């Protein structure tokens, strides 16, 4: 065939035409991925979301002070006055990798700009490693299809856009790379190469987990896959040493990380890998001592015994806790039916359960192609003369696919695993389908050409539809939104300087030893951009401190002043988002306040503070009661007061709250800058003076009046 024509010979390697095709498609996949993930740059060149700002500051610390100093660093700007042991509580590999790659490739670029590009580069490079992984499973065609599908997968894109300097892009890159090394090593015919790849896999797994804790979920399908190996592989002597080599490497490397040495090595994650490895060795030994016709039966009986013992130990552990269990969000991913009564956990948006409509939107046509992949794999296994996919790789694909879809049902954030699962299954299914159709020579040549052309056109159309339609809600356009720092994470697709200007004000107008209190959502921005100590931040390391902040906000101003004084806080930041209406009332600016600031989070403050919702909120669960507005610090710090309640559908108005009515507010600063009260408003962000019809992203900074004497 023309694709096998040699173009250039380089030593023993012959560069052929199909190699250029592979390079071309991978380059296209990388380019598409890079462009789609970079759309948010249209709104502004900033880091996106909250965690990236801490990750940037940690990387900056390494660049300025070196890696050794990083491992000794107690961050005094976090969780004042306790501080934070960064290397023990952070994604060490993310920070070190970013610093090292900056030293190598930075080329004089500002580190902030480098970290903005970092997730796009690694997210796009993941198209290459997913190609390598799927190629091992289903061949080159399947690998190339997986690279293209990965480049436009919505859940993968939204957690790896430009500025998303968080854990997932690097963690997924390393996790997929680890799977490639593992499967390639287990299926290598060269012992030396197998050893190198298995050790590489063992090193990469803990690196992936250290970069992103969610990568622990790669361990689940690996562990289950190991349980099947004695029954689907005949080369027992090989896997007797290959699998233990991989597992031993994982544990040895994990011990070098403070965070992993306890939580993974001696926890459920480590057990999920260690027990299957021990099972492989024991099962093969049992099978070797069994009669030929009883090997499988004895192995299955031993597996059943292991599963029963394991389940029993988990039940016992629920009471005695001799085995370190992961945090709630990991347990919830294993058991999506697990519920919690912890408001702090429920208040995090990415912990929301995935709905059916979200799943269909995220994956669309891939669900159908994944079903085809499963069907073809099972069919392939039944056809004994087929060697297209090896039995163990079929099992791994099915295990990984089902596990990925299962764990993603717990959290929206984990839809990335469903995406990878569906991409693997879809790519294999499509490649087999394309192969079967293109190899069909039963019909006449002219008719056959029409059928093949129509088939390929139909496949392309089906894949293009979710990428392009609907016009403002496709996979591509859904990823285009402003960086969080530019709109405060509100519902308004605008780009403002309210938060950046407010953080700059803090840096330039407060003492360097000032302590800033706010809801934990804004802690990383305060410590990174404002360069001041914060009481709590997005790592949520201390739930008791967060609960105290919630209680403080819902307390009376005098009681809140006492609490803030005990916290040694000098300033308090509150965030209010809304929109100025297009009409005014007697020259008074009118506002609606439900945009995604603290006014939209107060129900969580109340729950976390363990207070009664009806005391502070009306029946709609959002509008504040008179008690909220008149008796709580948060209500007093909102520089607005309800003027009336309006039903915008009927234009009816009411002086008091009515179900179905929306509160309309006017400006009302309760603690002006010259106040003798407990607090003074010392800064309001620019959009507090929003024009008619414009959104307001209001950041308000209050100074704690240390000379105030409470009346109670």
pLDDT of 393 strictly over 70: yes
Mention every residue, 6+ apart, whose C-beta is less than 8 A from residue 6: 14, 15, 16
Distance from C-alpha of 103 to C-alpha of 211, rounded to nearest angstrom? 19
What does the pLDDT average to over 153-182? 94
Per-residue pLDDT, 447: 64
Per-residue pLDDT, 627: 96
Element (H, E) at 6: strand 6-10
Q: Kindly report which listed range (152-156, 330-334, 704-708) carries the lowest average pLDDT score.
A: 330-334
Q: What is the pLDDT of residues 250-287, one digit of tens each?
A: 999 999 888 887 778 777 788 889 999 999 999 999 98
Band (pLDDT 50/70/90 cuts) for residue 379 is confident
Q: Count the helix, strand and coil residues of the chain and give each as a percent rounded to the nearest 5.
A: 60, 10, 30
Q: What is the pLDDT of residues 596-649, one digit of tens each?
A: 999 999 999 999 999 999 999 999 999 999 999 999 999 999 999 999 999 988
CB 29 within 8 A of CB 146: no
CB 532 within 8 A of CB 510: yes
pLDDT of 481 strictly over 50: yes
Q: For residue 525, how many C-alpha atoms fall within 13 Å in the half-sphere facing its CB?
A: 29
Per-residue pLDDT, 1: 45
What does the pLDDT average to over 78-95? 95
Distance from C-alpha of 80 to C-alpha of 548, rounded to nearest angstrom? 13
- Comparing C-alpha atoms, which of 48, 41, 305 is closest to residue 160? 48
Mention every residue, 6+ apart, whose C-beta is less than 8 A from residue 712: 556, 558, 559
Q: What is the pLDDT of residues 304-353, one digit of tens each?
A: 888 888 777 666 655 555 555 555 555 555 565 555 556 665 555 555 56
Q: What is the pLDDT of residues 289-317, one digit of tens each?
A: 888 788 888 888 988 888 888 777 666 65
Mention every residue, 6+ apart, whose C-beta is less than 8 A from residue 55: 91, 94, 95, 98, 115, 165, 166
Band (pLDDT 50/70/90 cuts) for residue 361 is confident
**Displacement of CA 493 from its chain's centroid (Å):** 21
Mean pLDDT of the chain: 88
Distance from C-alpha of 545 to C-alpha of 522, rounded to nearest angstrom? 15
What does the pLDDT average to over 376-386? 67
pLDDT of 586 strictly over 80: no
Per-residue pLDDT, 385: 46
Per-residue pLDDT, 217: 86
pLDDT of 651 strictly over 70: yes
- Comparing C-alpha atoms, which of 429, 433, 419, 417 is closest to residue 466? 419
Band (pLDDT 50/70/90 cuts) for residue 497 is very high
């Amino acid at each position: 065939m023309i694709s096998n024509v040699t173009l250039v010979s380089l030593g023993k390697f012959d560069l052929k035409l199909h190699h250029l095709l592979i390079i071309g498609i991978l380059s296209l996949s990388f380019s598409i991925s890079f462009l789609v993930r970079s759309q948010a740059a249209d709104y502004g060149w900033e880091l996106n979301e909250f965690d990236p700002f801490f990750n940037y500051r940690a990387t900056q610390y390494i660049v300025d002070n070196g890696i050794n100093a990083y491992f000794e660093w107690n961050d005094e700007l976090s969780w004042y006055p306790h501080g934070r042991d960064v290397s023990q509580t952070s994604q060490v590999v993310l920070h070190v990798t970013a610093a090292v790659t900056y030293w190598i490739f930075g080329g004089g670029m500002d580190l902030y700009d480098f970290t903005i590009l970092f997730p796009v580069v690694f997210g796009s490079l993941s198209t290459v490693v997913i190609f390598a992984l799927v190629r091992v499973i289903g061949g080159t065609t399947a690998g190339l299809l997986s690279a293209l599908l990965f480049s436009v997968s919505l859940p993968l894109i939204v957690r790896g856009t430009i500025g998303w300097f968080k854990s997932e892009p690097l963690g997924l890159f390393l996790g997929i790379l680890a799977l490639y090394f593992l499967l390639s090593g287990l299926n290598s015919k060269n012992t030396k190469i197998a050893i190198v790849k298995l050790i590489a896999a063992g090193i990469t797994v803990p690196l992936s987990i250290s970069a992103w804790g969610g990568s622990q979920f790669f361990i689940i399908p690996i562990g289950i896959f190991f349980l099947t190996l004695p029954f689907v592989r005949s080369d027992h002597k090989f896997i007797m040493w290959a699998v233990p080599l991989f597992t031993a490497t994982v544990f040895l490397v994990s011990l070098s990380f403070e965070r992993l040495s306890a939580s993974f090595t001696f926890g459920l994650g480590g057990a999920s890998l260690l027990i299957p490895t021990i099972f492989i060795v024991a099962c093969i030994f049992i099978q070797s001592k069994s009669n030929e016709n009883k090997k499988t039966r004895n192995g299955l009986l031993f597996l059943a015994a292991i599963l029963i013992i394991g389940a029993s130990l988990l039940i016992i552990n629920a009471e005695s806790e001799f085995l370190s269990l992961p945090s709630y969000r990991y347990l919830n991913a294993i058991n999506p039916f697990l519920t919690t009564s912890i408001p702090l956990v429920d208040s995090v948006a990415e912990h929301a359960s995935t709905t059916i409509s979200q799943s269909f939107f995220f994956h669309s046509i891939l669900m159908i192609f994944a079903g085809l992949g499963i069907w073809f794999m099972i069919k392939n296994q039944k056809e004994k003369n087929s060697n297209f996919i090896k039995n163990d790789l079929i099992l791994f694909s099915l295990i990984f696919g089902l596990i990925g879809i299962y764990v993603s049902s717990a959290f929206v954030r984990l839809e990335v695993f469903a995406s990878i699962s569906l991409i693997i299954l879809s790519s294999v299914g499509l490649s087999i389908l394309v192969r079967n159709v293109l190899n069909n020579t039963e019909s006449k040549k002219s008719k056959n050409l029409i059928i093949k052309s129509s088939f390929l056109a139909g496949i392309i159309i089906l894949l293009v539809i979710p990428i392009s339609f609907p016009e403002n809600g496709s996979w591509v356009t859904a990823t285009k939104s402003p960086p969080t720092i530019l709109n405060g994470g509100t519902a308004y697709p605008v780009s403002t300087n309210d938060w950046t200007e407010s953080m700059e004000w803090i840096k330039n107008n407060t003492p360097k030893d000032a302590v800033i209190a706010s809801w934990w959502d804004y802690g990383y921005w305060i410590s990174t951009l404002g360069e001041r100590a914060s009481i709590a931040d997005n790592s949520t390391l201390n739930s008791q401190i967060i609960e105290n902040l919630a209680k403080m906000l819902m307390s009376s101003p005098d009681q809140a002043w006492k609490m803030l004084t005990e916290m040694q806080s000098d300033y308090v930041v509150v965030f209010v988002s809304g929109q100025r209406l297009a009409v005014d009332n007697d020259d008074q600016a009118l506002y609606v306040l439900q945009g995604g600031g603290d006014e939209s989070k107060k129900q969580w403050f109340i729950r976390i503070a363990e207070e009664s919702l009806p005391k502070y909120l009306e029946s709609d669960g959002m509008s504040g009661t008179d008690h909220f507005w008149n008796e709580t610090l948060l209500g007093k710090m909102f520089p607005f007061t309800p003027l009336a309640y309006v039903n915008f559908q009927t234009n009816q108005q009411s002086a008091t709250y009515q179900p179905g009515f929306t509160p309309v507010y006017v400006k009302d600063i309760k603690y002006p800058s010259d106040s003798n009260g407990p607090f003074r408003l010392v800064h309001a962000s620019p959009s507090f003076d929003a024009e008619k019809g414009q959104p307001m992203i209001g950041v308000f900074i209050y100074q704690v009046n240390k000379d105030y004497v409470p009346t109670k």
